[in-house]
Amino acid sequence: MLHYVYFKIFLMCFTIYMIRVIPFLLFKNEIKNRYIKSFFFYVPFVTIAVMTFPSVITSTGSIKSGTAAFITGVIAAWFGGNLFVVSGLCCLAVFFISFL
């Protein structure tokens, strides 16, 4: 059983290492294509969004209040609200929706 855990740890380390090494092996020169550069630029943002979106919707225990908070946050951020304003409005949205 202990060897199985070590194998999992080795496999995770190898996977992370390969993800970091493969681009160095494939791309010797500077990337000039603007589409590929924009793809690599947006990958971290998309990854964070994909990881956090489900937890935002389900974090309140009710999908209705989570969705209302998400929509409120998107609208507040779109109109230039800072982090404190957006989070406060999202909390208020959850508070009011939980009473309905």
List, for residues 10-67, the tens digit of each pLDDT value.
999 999 888 888 888 887 788 888 998 888 888 888 888 888 888 889 988 889 999 9
Model confidence band, residue 76 (pLDDT cutoffs 50, 70, 90)? very high
pLDDT(99) > 90: no
Q: How far apart are CA 80 and CA 86, in angstroms?
A: 9
CA atoms of 42 and 11, how far apart (whole Å):
27
Mean pLDDT, the chain, whole residue set: 88
Question: How far, in Å, are 30, 34, 35, 36, 40 from residue 27 at the CA level?
Answer: 7, 15, 15, 12, 13
Which pLDDT belongs to residue 1? 61
pLDDT band at 4 (very low <50, low <70, confident <90, very high): confident
pTM beyond cutoff 0.75? no
